[in-house]
Amino acid sequence: MRQAAKTRRGIRVMLRADGSQHIGLGHVVRSMALGRELARLGASVEVWGSAVDQAKSLARSFSDLSTLDFGMPDGSFRQVPKILSFEPDIVVVDGYHFEPAFFKELDTKKIPYCVIDDNGETSAENPRLLINQNPSASAEIYGERFSGATLLLGLSYALLRSEVRELAQSDSQVAQFSEKVFVSLGGSDPRHLTLGICELLVGCGLMVTVAIGPGFNQPEELRCELASTDGVEVVSGAEALRAMAASSVSVVAAGSTLWEANALRKPVIGLIVADNQAKPARRAQELGLIQFSLDLRDTTDLEAVQEKLCSAVEQARHHPTIMPLAEACGAVQVAKRILAEVV
C-alpha cells in the first residue's frame, strides 16, 4: 500500500458502482458526482463499474472523469485484485449487490473504504465513512453496526451533479418558468413506464417535457413514439436538468432527482419505482420536500393512477415556489471528508 501521510494532490480514490437496465444508473451517477468533486480538489480519481460510460452522458461535468466499464455488474470478492492494481488510498463503494466477501477482502488487503447507502442495505462491516443522503437517514438505522465509522447523514450530503449547483446559484435560470411538466424515470426504465406516464399527463391537458436516459431499452423507438405524441417534447439526459429548472412541476423517479428538483426550488411528484426509494420518498413528503409520492412498484395498469397523478400535478402547479432543503453542495462536503480520512 501507499504511504499513509499524503498531500491531497497525491491521493488516489476509486469509486466503485454498477448500473444496468435493472439496477438503474443512480448509483453510478451519484458516484460520478462525488468523483468530480474529488478530482476538483486534486485527487487522482477513477470510476469503475458497469454502465459507467453510459452515465457519463448525463452531465457535462462527468466528461473528464477517468472510467473503466465492466460491462456487467459484479459485486464479488474477485474484484479486489483488480482494485489493488490501481493502488487506491481509499475506495468508495455504492451498491447493495456487493457481497460480504467483497468487503472482507478489502479489509484483509487493508484497503480503506467508504460506503454510500440508502436504507441500511450495505453488507459492509468496517467502512471509514458511511454516507446516506436521504431525509430518512438516521443513526438508528445502523445501530451499533458501524461504531467506528463516521456517519454522514441527510440532505446536507446529497450527492448532486455540479450542474445543479450552478443552476441553483443562477437566479435567472431557476426563475425561468413554463407550464410544462418535466418527466424523468432516471437513467433507465426497466418497466417501460415513461411513455404511459407521459400519455396520462397529456390526457389531463398538460404539456410535457420528458428526458430519455442512456440506459433505456430501445431508446430511439421510444423517442419516436414520444415525439409523435401531441404535447410532448423529448430532451436528452444532458439537457434534462435545464429542462427541469424551466418546468412548472417535476414528475420523477424517487431517487437523487428528487433532491435535485428541491435544490432548484421545484414542486415535485416522486414516483416510487424501486424498493430503496420508498422510505426516502415518504419521509420527503412528510417534510414537505416533495408535494406527493406515488408508489408504482406493483402497478400494472397506469390508467388506474391517472386521477391521483393528475390531481397531484395540478395541486403542485399551484404550490408556491418552495425553499430548497437539499444542499446543492453536498458532494463537495463529502469529498472533503473523504480526503480528510486519507491525509
Q: Is the pLDDT of residue 323 over 70?
A: yes
Beta bridge partners of 14: 46, 91
Section 30-49 average pLDDT: 97
Residue 31 in 3-state DSSP?
A: helix
The model's pTM is 0.92
How far is the C-alpha of 255 from the C-alpha of 217, rounded, in Å?
20
pLDDT of residue 4: 40
* Of 312, 273, 256, 266, the residue nearest 194 (C-alpha): 273
The string of pLDDT tens digits covering residues 273-319 is: 999 999 999 999 999 889 999 999 999 899 999 999 999 999 988 87
The string of pLDDT tens digits covering residues 235-246 is: 988 899 999 999
The string of pLDDT tens digits covering residues 174-218 is: 545 568 999 999 888 988 999 999 999 999 999 999 999 888 888
Q: 212 and 240 in contact (C-beta within 8 Å)?
A: no
DSSP per position, 104-131: HHHHHTT--EEEE-SSS----S--SEEE
* Of 229, 233, 192, the residue nearest 211 (C-alpha): 233
Section 220-233 average pLDDT: 93
Q: Is the pLDDT of residue 129 over 60?
A: yes
